[in-house]
């Protein structure tokens, strides 16, 4: 109990791949995945707001910061493109809000660590446990209601490599696997770094 004010236990970690498992699918665009990720962030911020609201005024600083982040993330979600194929104008507008409000939206849970510690240190004993639990949940899952779970299997990797390298042979044919690996190695020898932006997705 005497270490309650400094510990952030993580006994349970939740993960999800819903909305991110896009291999072979055409009904989920990159903009849909980003929108889902922003919604997960908003869910986490709403959970945090609901936890600390009853703890005011000692948590006033945290509450104001979370409220500002919720406003920013809501703006980002509303600016996210919709439809089958977003155009350059909508993508540019989304990028402007996403980047322009990134500081307000809180980029990482660690940004709230000092505010949490200050609130815990100054809170009456009865409120410290609630603040510690709220902090532990935030630090465990970061700026989302759950971690993003990425699944990659050999078939997915084969499919991407075949598409990029223009190979028509199926990876199910054992004799073709060695040739595929050889082509991958050759391609890796010529990889060059490149700059990526939203324009790269159009």
In this predicted model, what pLDDT tens digit does every residue of 12-60 receive, in sequence order?
777 877 666 666 566 778 888 899 999 999 999 999 999 999 999 989 9
Of 57-61, 98-102, 153-157, 182-186, give the lowest mean pLDDT range.
Answer: 153-157
Tens-digit pLDDT profile for residues 151-167: 767 777 777 777 777 77
Cα(191)–Cα(102) distance, rounded to whole angstroms? 31
pLDDT value of position 145? 83
pTM score of the predicted model? 0.77
Nearest to 74 by CA among 98, 50, 48: 98
- pLDDT in the model for residue 39: 95
Contact by Cβ (8 Å): 50, 42: no
Q: How far apart are CA 30 and CA 52, in angstroms?
A: 33
What is the number of H-type helices and E-type strands within the chain?
8, 2
Instruction: Record the tokens describing residue 33, joined without a space.
Output: 């995945």
Residue 15, strand partner residues:
147
Looking at residue 191, what is its pLDDT?
86
């Amino acid at each position: 109990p005497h270490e309650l004010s400094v510990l952030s236990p993580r006994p349970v970690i939740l993960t999800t791949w819903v909305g991110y498992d896009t291999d072979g699918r055409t009904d989920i665009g990159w903009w849909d995945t980003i929108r889902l990720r922003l919604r997960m962030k908003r869910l986490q911020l709403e959970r945090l707001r609901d936890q600390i609201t009853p703890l005011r005024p000692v948590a006033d600083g945290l509450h104001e910061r979370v409220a500002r982040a919720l406003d920013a993330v809501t703006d980002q979600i509303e600016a996210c493109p919709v439809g089958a194929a977003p155009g350059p104008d909508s993508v540019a507008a989304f990028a402007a809000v996403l980047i322009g409000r990134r500081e307000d939206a809180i980029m990482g849970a660690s940004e709230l660590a000092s505010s949490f510690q200050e609130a815990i240190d100054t809170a009456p004993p009865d409120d410290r446990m609630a603040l510690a639990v709220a902090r532990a949940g935030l630090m465990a899952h970061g700026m989302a209601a759950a971690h993003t779970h990425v699944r990659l299997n050999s078939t997915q990797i084969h499919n991407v490599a075949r598409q990029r390298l223009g190979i028509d042979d199926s990876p199910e044919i054992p004799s073709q696997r060695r040739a595929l690996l050889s082509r991958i190695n050759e391609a890796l020898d010529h990889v060059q770094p490149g700059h990526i932006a939203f324009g790269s997705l159009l």
